[in-house]
Structure 1
């Protein structure tokens, strides 16, 4: 469910921010990010009210962290601005390539080593990942690539922090709530830049009812609830499993593009999906090494 929510974010964001010579975006990236994070915080706050914590609920400093909130904000902002310049499949591919690299590098530094079967599975999944992007996707915008890579690295760090979570709903909720001051700073900065007209048109405020609805769906369901589910799932996954499982998201997002954005399905997409899932199966079936502390 969490992985489907991740893919839904890519589809919803692209639907809201895409533009052509005939059409304009339904919403600007800063407004999309602000509504997404605010809605996510509100939905999670309501869920926390319905499910009180077993421990002291008055001490919010024990839920989530400022560092995790900062990574969440960086991920969301870079994600939105990148999808102004990238299509659904390309954006998801770049995002989760950066996620896998950052998570595996950090895990390696922390002392987690791959077994032979995990290593083969990871290579196979990456091979399918590369096969998906290279034959059928044109070279992406350099600015979009850099922004999405930054977003992916931030999400990789956020995922690793989530492995330490004992109360996923509350940790995710307070992380979202802590992003709200940063959201206000972002909106103020974009407003000032718009006033002085030193930014590109995509940085100015654009709002439409459908664009606002897409941002609300992204924040309330795909982000708020989806990320709480992901923090819950992380409790039963190793860092390697969590990293490789996320390689399914570009495939799901590509299928979402076919269904909702009019993209065409191809044979190489189907083949790459099979390769990716085979690699994931090898990683999941592999017995992780025991690390002595």
Structure 2
């Protein structure tokens, strides 16, 4: 139950990032470059402070920081700019599809391919997600936006899998944010987007960085080793649904029958994939 509650809390934090990004960037309260920089900076400050308060050190010089910080940068940049030219639903669908395939591929290469039940659950959940997120009417695809989302999906998949080998989730996440900060700043400032920041935009970026990103990512790093590699990809399919529900509750967006039914399909697919692990666990317990 504790693992379930912490995982749910983490998925809510990830969904909150999408909501905060929409409230800040889509409304024009802050530009994507400034949002990305403030997000990483505030996350780094809070995480480092928490590590130091615990009497620990931030492991900045370990070789794995190149992978962790590099993939985090790739995700931050691709995510922040991809939504500028892509319809939100289509962008999220493509992003999570890339994450699924990338993690499945890395798990297979690492000797832990997804089980048939996990593949079936992933297919059902993703079909439900596609049903919910696919835009109504004609679809215009911006290939630059798709490329950015492709890079973001690969970046997040690598970042997630890198967490499986992190011995100290909080310190490792703090180090990743610190090393990623100059990388994100250079990449963000190189983007040809006009700089603009309001107090509201700054506040939303700080909350996204310090709470839903910084602490959310640290919690995710502590949970990733507890799941089979393929399950960490499937579980994250709940994030877009949580974001949609939050949009209805917080932003006054309209609910639909398609959302309700699609959510049931997504959760059913996730339950099917995760259920194999629980069943096998009970079987081992019975045999001992």
Q: CA deviation at 1:256?
A: 1.9
Question: Is 2:236 the partner of 1:233?
Answer: no
Q: CA deviation at 1:172?
A: 0.4
Change over 3 Å in CA distance of 1:63–1:226 after alignment to 2: farther
Deviation by residue 1:104-126 (Cα, 9 ceiling, x = unmatched): 12212222223332222122112
- Secondary structure (helix, strand or coil) at the match of 1:61 reads coil
Listed as ranges, the matches of 1:19-30 within 5 Å are 19=27, 25-30=28-33
- Is contact 2:76-2:184 (8 Å) kept? no
Larger deviation, residues 104-113 vs 226-235 = 104-113
Change over 3 Å in CA distance of 1:138–1:242 after alignment to 2: farther
Q: RMSD value over aligned CA atoms?
A: 2.2
The structure with the largest helix share of the pair is 2
Equivalent position of 2:262 in the other structure: 272
Query: If the length of structure 1 is used for normalisation, what is the TM-score?
Result: 0.85
Equivalent position of 2:155 in the other structure: 154
Larger deviation, residues 280-289 vs 104-113 = 280-289
Quote the Cα distance in structure 1 between the aligned partners of 2:58 and 2:120: 47
Query: If the length of structure 2 is used for normalisation, what is the TM-score?
Result: 0.86
Quote the Cα distance in structure 2 between the aligned partners of 1:78 and 1:113: 27
Task: Name structure 2 gaps, 5 residues minimum.
Answer: 1-8, 281-288
Deviation by residue 1:208-227 (Cα, 9 ceiling, x = unmatched): 11011111111011100000
- Is contact 2:89-2:134 (8 Å) kept? no
Question: Is 2:27 the partner of 1:15?
Answer: no
Question: Is 2:245 the partner of 1:255?
Answer: yes
Quote the Cα distance in structure 2 between the aligned partners of 1:81 and 1:99: 17
The count of corresponding residues between Structure 1 and Structure 2 is 270
Task: Name structure 1 gaps, 5 residues minimum.
Answer: 20-24, 191-198
Question: Is 2:38 the partner of 1:35?
Answer: yes
- Secondary structure (helix, strand or coil) at the match of 2:195 reads coil
Quote the Cα distance in structure 2 between the aligned partners of 1:152 and 1:124: 20
Equivalent position of 1:286 in the other structure: 276
Equivalent position of 1:96 in the other structure: 96
- Secondary structure (helix, strand or coil) at the match of 2:85 reads coil
- Secondary structure (helix, strand or coil) at the match of 1:235 reads helix
Task: Select which of 201, 215, 219 maps to 2:205.
Answer: 215
